[in-house]
A and B are shown apart, each in its own frame.
Chain A
């Protein structure tokens, strides 16, 4: 597609279960970002990929969170043993290179019950 695609768009999961969120960036974009947006809050940086390398993982909230990226393509954000405080919209963005315009997906709304 022409834009950043995220799936699923909505996910309801039980506390303690693992979830996997997917991001398909725009083809050719080398930089990929994951952010978390809690209800009524700003964007919280999670992780950044340049290619398939993540030079900065400091934004991941805990060791329950992990992310990987295959080449300069799809990325997955995995949350293990989900907690209610993980409920948020998870946004993915990609850009041609670092600090060129970032294009955002529509997000995955995660609800942990």
Chain B
């Protein structure tokens, strides 16, 4: 069965530190991969997506993610976290045979 796993429920980083949020998936076909952010009281916003091509994709707000097929992973990274990045982050995966499914989310707290 298709699944999306975000192993970290909650991560705390200091402002200015680097960030990596993990996402692993189990899909039979070539997946479409997304990262969404949900800020407090806000709707979900797309950060970036991967369909094909370069496995390192750049998104908004300085985020990037790398698709690693051999590891079935699509981890989200940011070199220097800002206080405004505190939010819930969701990885989503789909393929031509299935619908877009979301992971359970990772809550990011940013320390001053």
Contact = CB atoms under 8 A, between A and B. Distances in A.
A85 to B, nearest CB: 18
A106 B43 contact: yes
B51 A104 contact: no
Q: Name which of A41, A91, A93, A99 has the most chain B CB atoms within 10 A of its CB.
A: A99
A65 interface: no
Given A42-B90, A99-B32, A104 B99 contact: no
Interface string B10-40: 0000000000000000000000101010000
Interface residues of A, number: 20
A35 B34 CA distance: 16
A107 B43 contact: yes
A48 B105 CA distance: 20
Given A99-B32, A99-B51, A104-B44, A33 B98 contact: no
Contacts of B101: 45
Interface in A1-52: 33, 35, 41-45, 48
A102 B99 CA distance: 12
B43 A104 contact: yes
Given A42-B90, A43-B90, A99-B94, A105 B102 contact: no
B43 A102 contact: no
Interface of B: 6, 32, 34, 36, 43-46, 49, 51, 90, 92, 94, 98-105
